Amino acid sequence: MPFIYLLSKDQDGGSGILKMKPGEVDGEALQVTAPDGMTFSVMTTDEQGNLYLVAEDRDMEAVTRNEDVVCPTEHCEVWRVSPSGEVAAKLDISEYVKQEVFSPRMIAVAGNGDIYLSTQVDGTAVLAFDAEGNFLNKISYDYKVYTLRTAMGRGRDGKVYAVLWNYKDDTSVIVRLDGGRISGDTTSFILDGDGGCYEFVCPGRDCDLVIFGGEGILGYDLGSGNIKWKVLAGELPFSTEGLYPMAALADGRVLFLDRDNNKLHYVPAAQQ
């Protein structure tokens, strides 16, 4: 039986994890809570179903750095949690994250266990760590051309991919990330003529990547470099305006969380 894991927050600002079965109204709160003064911000899973959570400062203050106003977190950890709620590791990466403009906004885990954190909204920087929390590389791109406020996630091949959006001409580039390379990326794929701004990436059943955003949801084939199928936003059972966290289920469906209406939406991760 597959389970759904959701980050939860209480009225006092504390955060934890809610575990529930598809179709359930109420779930089980795992015995995993963020330390005092910290909160869980983003979460993902690896190929074995383990959870990876980012714990950061609950209250962050804006500061001026090199004439720019930034809002970093002073303390940051990546927690690896088993599906049953056992905390297997707490990786302290504060030394690297506090130097960034913002705290982590996205997290992805590659098939080999490498951890990728996108830490900026206006600009493109990804911090790469190995499975033990050792720093591998900072992967950066020209913030005047691309912005990584769109999508990052694991593909069907176990590699992590980022969608870089060129806001000047509305084109998108899919970049395969490799934390062990000084150069940062290994291969780029163009979303020819697409022009969409996308937010989430997950593996598909009949395609390498499923990418979701305001334009809808598409299946992308890396071998041919083409969009294999696409469902326009108007054909989805919910509005794509706003933030809809996405995850792939083991049975081949894609799950969207409608936070405005507290609903879960299921969409096939393959062309029907």
**pLDDT-based confidence at residue 154 (cuts at 50, 70, 90):** very high
Q: Which residue has the tokens 């593996």?
A: 203
pTM of the model: 0.85
CATH code, 142-272: 2.130.10.10
Helix, coil or strand: residue 72: coil
Give me 25's structure tokens. 């109204």
Lowest-confidence region among 42-51, 108-117, 153-162, 247-256: 247-256
Distance CA 90, CA 81 (A): 9
Question: Residue 262: left if φ>0, alpha if ψ -120 to 50, beta else—which one?
Answer: left
Domain boundary assignment for the chain: 1-104, 142-272
- The tens digit of pLDDT for each residue in 183-203 reads 444 566 666 555 567 778 888
Q: Determine what percent of the chain is predicted with pLDDT higher than 90.
A: 22
Q: What are phi and psi of 261, to 5 degrees?
A: -110, 5
Residue pair 175/127 in contact (Cβ under 8 Å)? The answer is: no
Helix (H, G, I), strand (E, B) or coil at 234: helix
Tens of pLDDT, residue by residue over 27-67, are 788 889 988 888 998 899 999 989 999 999 887 666 666 66
Among all chains, which residue has been given the structure tokens 């870089």? 164
Residue 112: alpha-carbon gap to chain centroid: 17
Whether the CB-CB separation of 40 and 32 falls below 8 Å is answered with: no
Task: Extract the tokens encoding 14.
Answer: 């504390």
How far, in whole angstroms, is CA 81 from its chain's centroid?
Answer: 17
The mean predicted confidence, pLDDT, of the chain is: 79
